[in-house]
């Protein structure tokens, strides 16, 4: 009996122990599954956040794209509107095309009379038209151009503006030596004027723009613009020995200057006129541009047009006090003088600067300033560089010896 009771107790204890172990095992299983669920939940939450972040980034990029494109477009637009385009906009309204009609004389050959035509011809007059450029320098319509474009011989002058307007113009004055003319537009209206720059401050290598009417292309539209740099300064030329024109201290540019550009402005990057486009050097028979264009410096232009506007011609503001003639081989042989290029002094005013400087008749003037004299016209051009009160250096030959003296320029003392 006792044995049976002991067996029952042992079985009961075993069952209880098994139940406890099973419960503990379930608890362990429950404890181990909870972290897994938590991690998956965290991963799910993180994945959602990443998706949200990606979505936000995409939306942000999309929202910024139009701004970036707009900024890029503005940058390109700003790069196109640079100093050169602004300079063109500044000066273009003042640039004009000039059409000049002149009356020239010629001979007309008679038909079916070859024998008569060998010795005679019938004089006739005919009108010839030419075109050039210019620019307005005052609100009341003063226009600067070259003398070889428009001069006192012009019968009719028509000025065309960039807005299509056309006006008649009058030649107020011209100077063949300086190759400059001043016109006045015949209209009671206000015009846009160009502004002069300081040609003495021009730097070799800076931008230069030639604006004008090459080949007569500009009639009632925008003028043509070519861009280059200032290639050199202070160039002296006498392009044609048969012509009286002498060009001193010219500005050289590689901006294309072609036929019809004459008289138009040479402009710097600020839109200010630093010269008047005048001629090109082709080096041959070609009339096209080869990279050597020349402009009369603006400071010289302003001096000339100031006199043209007041008197219609250019006069020295002082009296040098001597009369000269150009030296030739015949003169040298006749007076037993050295055959040198220069000016022979014929007479000296006793009340003038030349007499005070010790210059006497028979002297041969070789240089004025630092410039070697090429002709009497050249000397006249050099004398224009001085004003009353200036001291002018003169180099001369007397009795085959060279001397140097200085003249203090002043007005002639009236007797």
The single residue listed with the structure tokens 């250019």 is: 314
CA atoms of 137 and 142, how far apart (whole Å): 6
Q: Is 3 helix (H, G, I), strand (E, B) or coil?
A: helix
Q: Please tell me the distance from the alpha carbon of residue 128 to that of residue 291, in angstroms, as a whole number.
A: 30
Angle at 259 between CA 170 and CA 135, to 5 degrees: 40
Is 262 annotated in the active site?
Answer: yes
Q: Is 231 assigned a catalytic role?
A: no
Q: In the structure encoding, which two tokens stand for residue 341, read together?
A: 């290029």
Which among 181, 199, 231, 262 is annotated as catalytic? 262
Q: Which residues pair with 124 in a beta bridge?
A: 106
Ramachandran region, residue 271 (left: φ > 0; alpha: ψ -120 to 50; beta: rest)? left
Specify whether 148 is catalytic.
yes
C-alpha 178/C-alpha 382 separation (Å) is: 11
Among 97, 148, 175, 208, the active-site one is: 148
Other CB atoms within 10 A of residue 98 CB: 28
Alpha helices in 112-232 (DSSP H): 114-117
Beta bridge partners of 293: 253, 280
Catalytic residue positions? 148, 179, 262
């Amino acid at each position: 009996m006792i044995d049976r009771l002991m067996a029952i107790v042992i079985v009961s204890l075993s069952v209880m122990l098994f139940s406890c172990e099973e419960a503990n095992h379930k608890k362990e299983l429950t404890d181990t599954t909870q972290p897994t669920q938590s991690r998956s939940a965290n991963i799910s939450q993180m994945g959602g956040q990443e998706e949200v972040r990606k979505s936000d980034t995409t939306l942000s990029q999309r929202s910024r794209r139009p701004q970036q494109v707009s900024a890029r477009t503005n940058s390109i637009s700003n790069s196109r509107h640079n100093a050169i385009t602004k300079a063109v906009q500044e000066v273009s309204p003042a640039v004009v095309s000039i059409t000049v009609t002149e009356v020239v004389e010629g001979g007309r050959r008679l038909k079916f009379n070859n024998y008569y035509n060998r010795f005679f011809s019938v004089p006739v007059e005919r009108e010839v038209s030419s075109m050039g450029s210019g620019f307005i320098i005052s609100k009341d319509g003063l226009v600067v151009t070259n003398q070889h474009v428009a001069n006192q011989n012009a019968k009719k002058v028509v000025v065309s503006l960039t807005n299509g307007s056309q006006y008649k113009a009058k030649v107020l004055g011209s100077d063949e030596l300086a190759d400059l003319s001043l016109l006045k537009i015949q209209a009671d209206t206000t015009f846009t004027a160009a502004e002069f720059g300081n040609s003495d401050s021009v730097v070799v290598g800076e931008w230069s723009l030639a604006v004008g009417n090459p080949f007569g292309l500009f009639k009632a539209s925008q003028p043509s613009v070519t861009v280059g740099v200032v290639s050199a300064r202070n160039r002296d030329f006498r392009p044609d020995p048969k012509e009286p024109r002498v060009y001193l201290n010219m500005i050289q540019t590689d901006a294309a200057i072609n036929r019809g550009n004459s008289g138009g402005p040479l402009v710097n990057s600020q839109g200010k006129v630093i010269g008047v486009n005048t001629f090109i050097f082709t080096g041959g028979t070609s009339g096209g541009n080869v990279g050597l264009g020349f402009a009369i410096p603006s400071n010289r232009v302003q001096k000339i047009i100031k006199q043209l506007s007041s008197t219609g011609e250019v006069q020295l503001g002082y009296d040098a006090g001597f009369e000269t003639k150009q030296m030739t081989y015949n003169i040298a042989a006749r007076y037993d003088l050295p055959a040198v290029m220069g000016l022979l002094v014929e007479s000296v005013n006793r009340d003038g600067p030349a007499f005070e400087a010790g210059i006497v008749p028979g002297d041969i003037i070789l240089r004025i300033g630092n410039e070697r004299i090429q002709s009497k016209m050249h000397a006249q051009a050099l004398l224009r560089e001085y004003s009353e009160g200036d001291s002018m250096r003169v180099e001369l030959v007397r009795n085959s010896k060279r001397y140097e003296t200085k003249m203090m320029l002043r007005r002639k003392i009236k007797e």
